[in-house]
Structure formats: structure tokens, C-alpha cells
Amino acid sequence: PADSHGPAETGRTYISANGSSWYDLGAGESNDVGIRLRTTIPPSDVSIDKEVLETDLHPGDTVTFRLTVANEGSFPARHPVLTDTIPTGIVNTSVASSLVITQIGAVPYTWAVEQLDPGESGVVTITGQINSSLPPGFTIVNWATISDPDDDTPDNNADAVIIGGKQVYLPLVLRSY
């Protein structure tokens, strides 16, 4: 099957009548093979949104983190990895997921996530208790990330929540000129 309608390339298509001497079809006839496969790996776009379900938390309280992961791209995310850096101030944790997740290695909150098709999403819920030995006015910062080798848009691959801390309210003064 030879093709003379597209651009011919030399050094790519050879024919032979006997299998020992070869003729470059692109150089002599301006033809090349008519059956081609040219491909690239299309990008996925995994994202994460992390939130705390409770408000006004104190030492000893139960806290629930909801991680919503999604593939916002046009092609499957074939090997997503989800990591949540649960701090030492959170104890007695448990994990539930609407997706199939498998722990990777010895790191307790790093999971391989099942393939996410375009537009598919799921929720991983981590419930724990705020360590009762923390002082009043404690602050906990908790990050979560998701990655996929085919994702080339990392700007939506991490999210964080802050628990506790002191809130400062500043007055707003406007002047009219």
C-alpha cells in the first residue's frame, strides 16, 4: 500500500521483491507507505479541592477533611497519585473513598487512584481528631496534592486548609475625595 497524495519521506518506506535488496520508495517514486500511525499522549488535567466540613474547631474535636479529585481534561488520567500531608496534630484518623485508592509504600496518606476518565470525579474523606494536648489558639495547615504523569497543567494540583489560629478583623475606612 503506497500513497502518493501526502508528503513522501526518504529513508522510511522500502520495498523488495526478494527480501535481500531494498528500494527506497520515497526517493525513487515520491511515494511512501499508505498506512501510518502517528500519535502523542494527550494530556489529562487532574485537580483537587480540599475543605474542612466543621467550623470553630478546638482541641479534642472531630475534624473531617473532604478531598474532591477530578479529571478536568479531555483524556483519561491513567495513573493519578493523591497525597495528603495529615499533620501530627490530627490523630485517630480513618479514610473513606468513593474511588478505588491503594496506599503506596510506607507513607500513610499517599494513594494510587483508579483511572479518572474525562469529567470523572470522586471524594476521599479523612476523619480524625484534633490532638487534645494542643494549646488554645493552635494552628494546623494541611496540604493535599494530586498528580498524573500526563497532566501538563499543575496549577490546580494542590490545595490547603487551615484549622484554628487567631482571626484578626481589621476595620475598613473609606475616604471620599
Q: Mean pLDDT by 10-residue block, N- to C-terminus, for the chain (177 residues)?
A: 67 77 75 61 87 94 97 93 94 96 89 96 97 92 94 91 76 67
How far, CA to CA in Å, does 77 sit from each of 82, 96, 109, 115, 124?
12, 21, 20, 6, 17
SS3 category, 146: strand
Residue 87 is which amino acid?
A: P
Contact 102, 171 (CB under 8 A): no
pLDDT digits (tens, 9 = 90+) for 118-150: 999 999 999 999 999 999 889 999 999 999 998
User: Phi and psi (nearest 5°) for 27?
Assistant: -80, -40
Contact 95, 24 (CB under 8 A): no
pLDDT for the residue numbered 153: 87
The pTM assigned to this predicted structure is 0.70
pLDDT for the residue numbered 118: 94
